[in-house]
Structure 1
Amino acid sequence: MSIEPKNGAVDVAPGALKIGATGGKLTTVKVSDKSGKEVPGTIAADGSSWTPSAGLAVGTAYQVSAMAADGVGMIVSVEFSKDVANKDAVAKGITFETDNGTAVKGHWFDDRRLDFRPEEYWKPGTKVTVQYRLKSVEIAPGVYGTDRDEPFTIGRSKVSTVDAAAHRMTVAENGASSDIDITSGSDEHPTWNGTMVVMSKEGTVRMQSSTLPGMTGSPYDLQVPHSMRLTTTGTYVHGNYWSGGAFGEDNVSHGCVGLRDVKGGGDSTTMGKFYADSLVGDVVIVKNSVKKETLDPANGLSGWNVPWSKW
């Protein structure tokens, strides 16, 4: 979620306020002046932005409160800039309040990363508040945290299951399902098996073969439309306009999951529609890839691959 101008900004033009959600979808936006009077405005139909009905008043301070929805697979990942010396105290200092009693637990991946999730995927509509109470906790020698609350809401359920052997993806959303022809990783560059989560919606991304270790086949340098990141190491589900008749027939990618698209990305293409309907936190499961191992649970928001008993 982005709010411009930044907190504390002064000498701001009346029409400068911009509120947007680049991954999730805005659910509530409240802008008010010092007296509590709210500014009328509208959330866009796709939930990507909020626009005031008129310019704001000059010489006035405003407070913005906005909330966005994440998908049912959302994992809260807390990363520290220094090794955490007192892990127990830090874990106890971060708690979750949910409106339906969903229990949330943390899991340390290393000395600087603590991820949180429930046992099963979140229930759609769950309202969550992360409560950080670290002001009095010595995280590292001489380093203390802060106290703050961070609310978010879980959106609708969307779980997409890629069957790499069948070159198909089944999309289950709100009780309905549909099948999409895809192409995934080739035998030389197979897609990871396992459960992944959409980390970010990045639009058009430049992808180059020179960045891929052990690259085989023809080199490439492409502007790839409708790219959604699934792992830190660069697994995406994205638009593909160069693979011809591979969709539903063959796996020819270098590890990503490709859906039919056009150069530059089209809103009405298979991937264009899938991208527009996706949220950060949506689940993508890959099975039957020739890659035998399951991806590292620390690679992206992939903690769903850790059994609850070990979480």
Structure 2
Amino acid sequence: MARRRLTPPRPGFLDAADSGTEAPQPAPEVKSMFPMGVAATVTRAPIAQVAGEAAAQAALTDLAAEIARTRAEGRVIERLPLAEIDAGHLVRDRQSVDAEEMETLVSSIRARGQQMPVEVVDRGAGVHPRYGLISGWRRLMALGQIGESQVLALVRRPETAAEAYLAMVEENEIRAGISFYERARIVVKALESGVYPDTKTALNGLFGNVSRAKRSKIKSFMTLVETLDDVLRFPAAISEKAGLALVQAIEAGHAPALREALQNNPAADAAAEAQLIARVCGSAPTPAASEPPAPPCPTDLSADLPDVRYDPETGVIVISGAGVDKKLAARLQIWIKDRR
């Protein structure tokens, strides 16, 4: 017997036949609508779906880990509340800021926004302010002046305080030079804070990338910092040569008179402070009978004085510059002989 293919029922088919109208065409065969008589499906195979979801989850996990790693390495710039940054977290090496330079920076940030992020350390969720400033003090101050509430920052994680101090020093050495007094002061303060065990380690740690001669001058200025830091009002204005001469005068016995004068007569500006120092050192302290007269203080802190360099590692003293001649050499020999 011949097999007939069934077609799906069509509503109204019989009604049309009873009314004498032309019967509608039969509906297409069900089996002919799909290849091999089986309906197509859009459902993915379970194994492929599970594998795809696992791969996507693994990619998200890797991405999250990479973001966490780059943030831990301080390579992600974040937007932090300005109020959550402690500008005094480290003892700053820069003591003075030129007003004109600061105004230029403020105008630039106001016009173009903050272009360079500051560097901070995360001190923990239980500390307020949470972040301590490492570098970018001027940018932070400029943002505060124009009323910004947020700052772009790189969150560093220095393993030691020495690394944090080094980051601050290196930025200032590269971006904006600081005076010898300010360099010496940060060494002294780092030593006082216990960041370094001794002077040599501190100098090499903070200024290991500068010349040996420069480190020697910084070490000489440390005497000036240790003696007069709390009474000097404009120490950053002291030039390299004048500062080295002033250190010699301090070592010769002028320190008590200088401290008293600077403490009782605070200067209004750097020039007045220089004149006060010159007046105090105009009369050298009375030496003991066995000691030669002390050398006078510099009459002008910006005067062109001989450059004296001492290398503590080799024990060599080099004197060069204005006023260096045979007479000076002879006088030095006599002075050294009398000091023995």
Q: Same fold (TM over 0.5)?
A: no
Higher relative contact order (CA 8 A, sep 6+): 1
Please give the TM-score of this superposition, normalised by the length of structure 1: 0.24
* TM-score, scaled relative to structure 2: 0.23
Which has the larger Rg? 2
More helix by share: 2
Greater strand content: 1
